[in-house]
Structure 1
Amino acid sequence: MTKPILRSRGWTDSAVRDFLPQPEGLKPNPRFAATGAPMPVWRPATVAAVERTPEWQAWLERSLRRRKTTLEALAETEDEDFRARVEAARMAIESEGGVPHEAAEGR
């Protein structure tokens, strides 16, 4: 998972720092391939394990309430390619036992 995909699931930079381990890899920045810094990535299993914890779930609930938004609103985009990547990430995380998108929104 890249940070933009994590953001669509409610993650913020501070949540990434506080809940995830060091990045498990780096991938080229697709928007700035020649000049952009590589993007940190995490495996779906890593994200799913964190999203299963009561601490992260409580943080997500408070964060969405404070931001007055939903996961659905965060995932909205006109970019079909990004939408497909978000959906693939969601399915991969759920297959690892992560919090389903709908369950997180129902809080």
Structure 2
Amino acid sequence: MTDDSPPRPQITAGDAAELRRARDRMIARDKVIDEMVDNNERQITNEHARGGAEIELACAVRGACRSRARGACGVGAGDRTPGAAPGGGSAPGGRA
């Protein structure tokens, strides 16, 4: 197999050092970007966990409010007593 490409120009030691520094800067930037992506992933995971906990808390509060509104007898909100006619008042037909 022959190499038909033109010969590469020789680089100086200074050019080689500059290329190494440029490569090191590139690698350092890549590491910073990887760390930023990892950090964002952790934040998103924590936000999802926190959001789930907030939803559970809201559901628990809502459930507590509903059970308090139903009262101890489980009839529902308001001042009705078990067995009372809806709207409060006498039996149908005005008979007492």
TM normalised by structure 2 equals 0.20
Structure showing greater radius of gyration is 2
More helix by share: 2
TM normalised by structure 1 equals 0.18
More strand by share: 1
